[in-house]
Amino acid sequence: MAVSSCARAFPSFECRSNADFSGGVPRHDVPNAGIRFSGKANLQSRGSSFFGMYSLILRFPPNFVRQLSVKARRNCSNLGLAQVVAALWSNIHASPDFIPTAKAVDATAAIAPLDITTGDEEMAMVENPPCAARPVQIEDLTGVKYSSFLSYDGSIAIHAGERLGRGIVTDAITTPVVNTSAYFFNKTSDLIDFKEKRRASFEYGRYGNPTTIVAEEKISALEGAESTLLMASGMCASTVMLLALVPAGGHIVTTTDCYRKTRIFIETILPKMGITATVIDPADIGALESVLCQRKVSRLLISSTVLNYMYIITEHLQRLEPFSMQVTLFFTESPTNPFLRCVDIELVSKLCHEKGALVCIDGTFATPLNQKVLALGADLVVHSATKYLGGHNDVLGGCISGPDKLVSAVRNLHYILGGALNPNAAYLIIRGMKTLHLRVQQQNSTAQRIAEILEAHPKVRCVYYPGLSSHPEHHLAKRQMTGFGGVVSFEVDGDLLTTAKFVDALKIPYIAPSFGGCESIVDQPAIMSYWYVDILCMVQCLL
């Protein structure tokens, strides 16, 4: 029987012989594991640099193959070649080694010659372990990572966490939503194996979910992080991170321009736990160095009693108690909210690490595509997944990514506090990230154009956008970002009512909070975000 083949491509691409074919997930940690070749067809892999891909077999139904002419079979084989060329094209077109399409076809054909034969050769077979009776089940997640061929952010956003190593056995392309609050074990020994980390599984919905794991793996791949933890919202991720990593008596450095609710938590909630904070300008490196260089000081405590108008010094006359002002954590956004100020992440990380302080950057405005925070030296990166990652204004979520040691510390507290992400929300984040690359590219382009138009308009007082040369950190943004984001802040030349009149005259944008979705949104912060603050200030002035 004739079999078309294309070597060294995705191992899980198969034209299956019937609609109800069911097969397990092949092993990807060992080349050609679970695959046996026989017959005269030349299926030997040639070359070892084609993105680390393994052998591909396109399998057609027997009756269908017999009815095809030689020419038709050759054309069907070219469909398989086109799949490989498309994968090659999508992964390298943005790289320095970019090659034209024609050359990509030639290179692929050289690697995978299409030998079509018409005799009674023995068919090459693919052996797959059978699936369990249930269509969706949890498999061992250990030791399985996405393949090295995912070297391009656009492909990573689509395939990471799913293309290889997905912990759910299913033939579906999309990741299923596992709606359960608890998981069962067949016997006590399985539970013990799970507890002693010899078996990968789940126990309770607050501690993890297969759908959520896929979303976490996808974000980790984009950020280049060891681990990612998804939570119910961006604020949940930020607050749990601060509580987990800053001890009582610790000191935080943050910036003047940042999300208001984050500042409220740092300045009003954390002090109740003995955690203090210093607020500096995003670009004031001198102020950061000054805070980092503060030494431990001592408090002089005197214990005494008064008797007969005389001071009787007690046994413990003086006791020196160390009082630490050492910085534990530097936490800010870059770009910041709402003035889009940029922090020199590389320099800040270097200075903080020299003094033993951690660095966490909220990269929501930048996305993992426009800015690789961890690669610039930061320890952790936080995102509101509600924004660009979800991208459709239909889901709440937040995440924190970084080394497994730090993320595990946050995870342990998260298990106590709750705030778990719903698996349906995880599914929406996975779905949203599949278009992240295209959306961010378009939003970067549109925002840059809007910023330039606004800056040239006589009725606009000031525009804040890192892509403009007038932005105070424009050169820094060019150095550490590949795109400047889809948010533009600007001041209308007029009072509050004039600005409201301008907002009401807009036809396309919705008057709404948040950003990063497909719809355009306009937000007047004085009314939307600072309404109660302004009212309180007015009352205080009247009093």
Res 325: pLDDT: 67
Confidence of residue 531 (pLDDT cuts 50, 70, 90): confident
- Give CATH superfamily name and number for 436-540: Aspartate Aminotransferase, domain 1 (3.90.1150.10)
Radius of gyration of the chain (CA): 29
Q: In 256-379, where do the E strands start and end? A: 276-280, 297-307, 310-323, 327-333, 358-362
- pLDDT, one tens digit per residue, over 294-333 is 855 433 333 333 334 334 333 443 443 444 568 999 999 9
Cβ atoms of 213 and 144 within 8 Å: the answer is no
Q: Cα separation of 402 and 378, whole Å?
A: 9
- State in Å, rounded, how far the first CA of the chain is from the last one: 92
- pLDDT, one tens digit per residue, over 444-455 is 999 999 999 999
CA atoms within 13 A of residue 198's CA, in its CB half-sphere? 6
Q: Cα separation of 252 and 270, whole Å?
A: 10
Tokens of residue 193, six digits:
């194996």
Beta bridge partners of 383: 399
Between the ranges 69-83, 141-155, 371-385, where is the mean pLDDT highest? Answer: 371-385
Beta bridge partners of 36: 125
Non-local CB neighbours of 318 within 8 Å, separated by 6+ positions: 300, 301, 302
Tokens of residue 67, six digits:
């009815």
Secondary structure class of 436 (helix, strand, coil): helix
Beta bridge partners of 380: 360
Res 92: pLDDT: 47
Res 519: pLDDT: 95
Tokens of residue 93, six digits:
């077109």
Kindly tell me if the per-residue pLDDT of 292 is higher than 70: yes
Res 151: pLDDT: 80
Compute CA distances 367 → 89, 443, 463, 497, whole Å: 24, 11, 21, 33
CATH number of the 147-296+322-435 domain: 3.40.640.10
- pLDDT, one tens digit per residue, over 58-103 is 444 555 444 544 444 444 444 444 444 344 444 444 444 444 434 4
Secondary structure class of 432 (helix, strand, coil): helix
Name the least confident of 46-50, 56-60, 255-259, 321-325. 46-50
Long-range Cβ pairs for the range 494-498 (8 Å, 24+): 494/459, 496/526, 496/527
Cβ atoms of 214 and 426 within 8 Å: the answer is yes
Domain boundaries for CATH 3.90.1150.10 within the chain:
436-540
Res 150: pLDDT: 75
Q: How many residues does the chain have?
A: 543
Residue found by looking up tokens 């950061």 in the block: 288
Res 303: pLDDT: 37
Compute CA distances 397 → 110, 249, 443, whole Å: 46, 30, 21
Q: Cα separation of 214 and 236, whole Å?
A: 20
Nearest Cα neighbor of 104 from 117, 122, 120, 91 is 91
Tokens of residue 444, six digits:
């970067």
Residue 25 DSSP code: P
Percent of the chain clearing pLDDT 90 (strictly above): 59
Compute CA distances 506 → 491, 502, 511, 523, whole Å: 15, 7, 9, 12
Tokens of residue 352, six digits:
């903080």
Q: Cα separation of 8 and 147, whole Å?
A: 13
- pLDDT, one tens digit per residue, over 162-220 is 876 677 888 889 999 999 999 999 999 999 999 999 998 999 999 999 999 999 999 99
pLDDT averaged over every residue in the chain: 77
DSSP per-residue codes, 103-132: HHHHHHHHHS------S-PPPPEE--PPPP
- pLDDT, one tens digit per residue, over 235-246 is 999 999 999 999
Non-local CB neighbours of 13 within 8 Å, separated by 6+ positions: 56, 58, 80, 83
Q: What is the mean pLDDT of residues 374-386?
A: 98
Domain boundaries for CATH 3.40.640.10 within the chain:
147-296+322-435
Q: Cα separation of 26 and 43, whole Å?
A: 18
Res 529: pLDDT: 77
Cβ atoms of 466 and 489 within 8 Å: the answer is no
Long-range Cβ pairs for the range 151-154 (8 Å, 24+): 151/51, 151/91, 151/92, 151/95, 152/90, 152/91, 152/92, 152/94, 152/95, 153/222, 153/368, 153/369, 153/437, 154/90, 154/94, 154/437, 154/438
Residue 204 DSSP code: B
CA 89, 91, 93, 99 torsion-angle sign: negative
Name the least confident of 36-40, 156-160, 478-482, 509-513. 36-40
Phi, psi (5° rounding) for residue 112?
-130, 80
Q: In 244-309, where do the E strands start and end? A: 251-255, 276-280, 297-307
- pLDDT, one tens digit per residue, over 355-366 is 999 999 999 999
Residue found by looking up tokens 């924004």 in the block: 387
